[in-house]
Structures are given as C-alpha cells and as structure tokens.
Structure 1
C-alpha cells in the first residue's frame, strides 16, 4: 500500500469558542493519535494566513493507507468521548480527507516538514482534478521550476481516497461533499516566496481550486518520532 496522509480542514463557528476548540484539539484529539499510534508519523496544525475560511488545517503523515481501515484508528471515531461527540456536533465545519501519496519531491535540509523539530512554517495548499496521466506532466513542471527556488522546501501531491464534511454549516446533498481529486502541498520558507513569478503562475493555472496559504500553529511530538518528552515548536 502507498503512504497515507490525513488532512482535516475545520472551523469552530459560533457554537464553539476558540478556547474550547484549541483545548480539545491539543489535549484530547491529537494526543489520542500521536501519543499511541506508531502509524501516525507526524502531526501538525496550521492557521489560515490568507483571511479565508476555514481557519484551521491539521495534517498527518501516515505510514500506510491501510491504517485508515485498521481498528486501532477507526475505534477513535467510533468511540468518541462524550466531550468530543458533543463538540463535533457543534462545529461549523469538520472536513476530513484521507489520501495516498502520489508524488514527493523529497525531504529537505531546510525544514523537517511536519515533524516537531524544525518544522516547515508556511505551506500553500490547493486542489486540482487531473485526468489520467496528467499528474506526470505536472510533476515535470514542478521539478523544472519550483525546485530551483531558494525559498521552496518541498512539494507533495496526494490522491483523495475518501472524504467527509460534517458540521452545522454544511449543506445537505452530495454536491456539498465534493472535493478536488488531488491535494497539492507546497512547503516554503516564508510567505514572501509566494510573490515569486513561478509560484504565482503555478497557483493560477487552469483547474486549480481552493488555493490557500497557512502558517504553522504547532507541530506535535509523537510516539513514532520518539520525542514525546521534547517540547514542540
């Protein structure tokens, strides 16, 4: 199986205070995964820096897409605590998307991506629906342009294999559940890199949706990294 990835876009909304939301995420939701499951290799949360909604994004590198069906993981949602169950019902949005890795430019010495030591501070995300075979052309463009930029750290592309949007702000019907086929994540050293011509050109290409910029809120230590006793960034 391919390496997996989990991205969760979320918005507290009017029925959940930011303090309650952060306490739940930091002290219950994240620890239940990163403190016990070796399959969760990294975990980090980002806040929106572009003024758009949703405001929050959580990302996790997963060892294998098979983990998404494993009982050690599925039971966490099936057996939510009363507190979590109540809070999730009141959120404006919880947009959970699972992926398999399609492309990775490789680790960089500039940052450790989503690990808690030297994590990437800024990411750009967007969705795109490639037809069969188009991903190869996109990869060639990335390797030929972005890889030469000083402020560029890493790029990964993920194929969506499952998704679910819940929350009081989510309309009923299948249309509201649609998401782009691929998620692209560009890691950069600073927001200023986004002004580079190669980046702005890539972000305005035909078919791109949901272009977002994010700043690191926190990268979490985890049992898979063997650093739970270490302070996170």
Structure 2
C-alpha cells in the first residue's frame, strides 16, 4: 500500500487554555504515537502564520496507509485516557484527515522536512478539488515540481489524496456537510513564507482550470519531534 500522511488541524477555543492544549499535545498525544509506533516516521506541529483559524497544525509521515486501520493505532483513540477524553470534548475543533501520497518532489538538501535535525521552518498548504482523475492529478503534481524547482526558497512539495476524515469539536456543526473536505492536498515546504508571494511560486502551484484551490494556509514551525522510527535507524547504523 502507498505511504500515508496524517494531518490534524485544531483550535483550543474558549474552554481549553493554550497552556493545557500544548501540555496535552506535547506530553501525551504526540508521544503516544511517535514514541511507540514505528509506523510514525516523523511528527511535527505548526502554528498559523496567517491569523486564520484553525490555529494549529500537526503532521505525520506514515510508513503505509494500512497503519490507519491497524489495532496499534486505532486503539489510541478507542482507549483514550480520562484526561484526553475530557480535553477533546472541550476543543472547539479537532479536524483529522488521513491521506495517501500521490507524488513527492523528493527530499531536499536544504532541510530534513519534519525531522528535529534541521526541520523545515514554514509550510504552505493548498487544499484542492481536482476535476480530473488521480492520474491527471499525479501528472500535474510532477509538472508543478519541475516549475517549483526554480523558485528561490522552495524546498519540497508533496501531494496527497484524502482517504478519510473526521471533524469533532464544540464549534463543528451537526450538518453532514460540515464533514466535507477537499479531496486533494499539496504541502509546500519553504524556507520563508515570503515564497507564497513570489509570482513564480503562485503560477507553479496553481492547478489552473483543471482544479480549484479551496483553501491556502501558511504555517510556522512550532516543534519537530524525534520518533522511535528515527531512533531505530540511528541505533542500527
């Protein structure tokens, strides 16, 4: 099965303090995944750089999309601690989306992406609805990579197809339409968010008439986490 990607956006809201939110995320939620599951290759959190909500983003590279249905992973939500269960019920938003990788421009010598040694400092995310099929999106992705490679400050882009999603929280409407999300995602790793304003980047990252970019967000790195997968590579080398 293809490599996977887990992306979670969240908003603490008025019922959860920022201190409580970060303590839970940093000391319970993330470690239970990256320190215990070898399938979690990387993990990092970013804060909004555009003053929009949701304010927080967590991203994880996953070795295989089969992980999303494996008991080692699903039990983490099924058997939440009392603390986590209580906090999740008070969050304004917890928007979890799982993806499979469509295309990858490749690792950059400028950054380690989400690893704690030289992590990427900024992300630009494009949520996209594409009118063609997946093969057409794959073709567009590779064309975009070639164009982006000449953009100063660009490091890497990966594109994904959403395979599952769930929004929960006090601010989420009960209407089924609230659960609808764009099918595709492009995550651009950049050295500075000023890249977002460069004409060459705007042109190269725009799918044009075959698609509609539903949302563009900009993010600054909050923290990159070491994982058991990374530690296993170091110990075996």
TM over 0.5: yes
- Other-structure match for 2:93: 93
Bigger proportion of residues as helix: 2
The separation in 2 between residues aligned to 1:113 and 1:198, in whole angstroms, is 22
Contact 1:8 1:94 in 2 (8 A): yes
1:193 aligns with 2:195: yes
Q: TM-score, normalized by length of structure 2? A: 0.93
- Other-structure match for 1:211: 216
Q: CA deviation at 1:137?
A: 4.0
The separation in 2 between residues aligned to 1:116 and 1:164, in whole angstroms, is 28
1:135-156, CA deviations, whole angstroms, 9 ceiling, x for partnerless residues?
1342243133111122110000
Q: TM-score, normalized by length of structure 1? A: 0.94
- Other-structure match for 2:51: 51
SS at match of 1:145: helix
Q: Of 204, 226, 229, which residue of structure 1 is paired with 2:231?
A: 226
More off after superposition, 211-220 vs 149-158: 149-158
Contact 2:94 2:168 in 1 (8 A): yes
Contact 1:99 1:158 in 2 (8 A): yes
Contact 1:203 1:211 in 2 (8 A): no
For residues 176-187 of structure 1, the aligned pairs below 5 Å read: 176-187=178-189
Are residues 203 and 56 of structure 1, via their aligned partners in 2, closer, same or farther at CA, if it must alter by over 3 Å?
A: farther
- Other-structure match for 1:167: 169
1:28 aligns with 2:28: yes
SS at match of 1:184: strand
Q: Which runs of 5+ in 1 are unaligned?
A: 228-233
1:57-93, CA deviations, whole angstroms, 9 ceiling, x for partnerless residues?
0000000000001111000000000000000000000
1:118-176, CA deviations, whole angstroms, 9 ceiling, x for partnerless residues?
10000100111222143134224313311112211000001000000000000012110
1:72 aligns with 2:77: no
Number of residue-to-residue matches in the alignment = 229
Are residues 35 and 140 of structure 1, via their aligned partners in 2, closer, same or farther at CA, if it must alter by over 3 Å?
A: closer
Q: Which runs of 5+ in 2 are unaligned?
A: 233-237
